[in-house]
Amino acid sequence: MDTTEIRLCGIGGQGLILGARVLAKALVSEGRKVAQSQSYEPTSRGELSRADLLVGDEAPDYPLATALDLALILDQAAAGACDGLLKPSAMVLADSEKVPAPPQGAFTTYSYPFAAAAAELGTTRAANMAALGALVALSGICAPESLIGAIGAIGSRSHLARNTDAVHAGLRMVRDASPVPDPAKPRPGS
C-alpha cells in the first residue's frame, strides 16, 4: 500500500493547520484517503507548529508520520522539525527568506519566496497558500484545480480571491523556475 507522508511546519499563526485541512479536502475530492494530525498544545502559539497528512488509496494502518516524502518549512524555528523523518527521496520546500538555513541531507531542498509573494498580494498571511501551490506543482500530489476548489470550500469567503491568487503565485514559482535539480527522481510515494 503506497502512502505519501507530508509535513507542513513553521510557527503558530502561519496557517499550517488550515493549509493541511485545505490540502486534505483537495485530496479527498480526488478520492484519496487522508489521515491528518497536528501539534496540539500552547507552545504552537507563536512557536513550532506542524500538521501532517498521510495520503493513500486506503486508510493507513498507522496514521502518524514515520517517513516523510514531502515537507514544507515556513520558518527557521521548524527547520529541525523533520529531523530523522525525511526519506532520501523526499522533497523539502522551504521559504527562502524565513528559512535561511534549511535542513540538509540526502533529500532535495527547494527554496521559494512564499512570504514575499504573499506580501506582494497584500499580506504575508497568504504565504501558506502560495506554499501549497508550489507543493502541488512540484509533487503532483493533486490537481491545482482540486486545491483551489478546496480553498473555496474551507477557507474564508472574504479571503478567497487573495488565497487563490497566492496559490497561483506558488504554482508559477515552480513552473517558471529552472528545471528540477534531478528530473529522474521519482515522485514521492511512487
Partner 1 sequence: MSVQVRNLQGNEACALGAIAAGCRFYAGYPITPSSEIAERMAEALPKVGGAFVQMEDEIASIAAVLGAEVGGTKAMTATSGPGFSLKQEVLGFAAAAEIPCVVVNVMRGGPSTGMPTRPSQGDMMQARWGTHGDHPVIALAPASVSEVYTQTARAFNLSERFRIPAVVLYDEVIGHLQETVDLRESATLELAERKWARGSPATHLPYAETDDGVPVMSRPGDGHRDHMTGLTHGEDGFPTQNPEAVTRAMDRLLGKLERDRDAIDAVDMLACEDADIVVVACGIVARAARRAVRDLRAEGLAAGLFRPITLWPFPEQAFARAAEAAKIVLVAEMNAGQLRLEVERLCPPGARVVGLGRIDGTPIAPAEIRAKVQELTQDA
Q: Which residues bind partner 1 (CB under 8 A)?
A: 21, 24-25, 28-29, 31-38, 40-42, 59-64, 66
Of 18 and 121, the one with the shorter C-beta distance to partner 1 is 18
Choose among 78, 71, 131, 139: nearest CA to 107.
71
Of 43 and 123, the one with the shorter C-beta distance to partner 1 is 43
Shortest CB 184 distance to partner 1, Å: 28
Q: Quick check: 139 and 187 in contact, CB under 8 A? A: yes
| Residue 76, CA atoms < 13 Å, CB-side half-sphere | 6
Dist CA 9 CA 74 (whole Å): 6
Of 27 and 166, the one with the shorter C-beta distance to partner 1 is 27
Shortest CB 76 distance to partner 1, Å: 24
Residue 6 grid cell: 507530508
Would you say the C-alpha torsion 176, 8, 162, 97 has a positive or negative sign?
Answer: negative
Of 37 and 108, the one with the shorter C-beta distance to partner 1 is 37
Q: Quick check: 173 and 113 in contact, CB under 8 A? A: yes
φ/ψ of residue 11, rounded to 5: -120, 155
Shortest CB 115 distance to partner 1, Å: 27
Of 119 and 154, the one with the shorter C-beta distance to partner 1 is 154
Shortest CB 86 distance to partner 1, Å: 16
Shortest CB 37 distance to partner 1, Å: 6
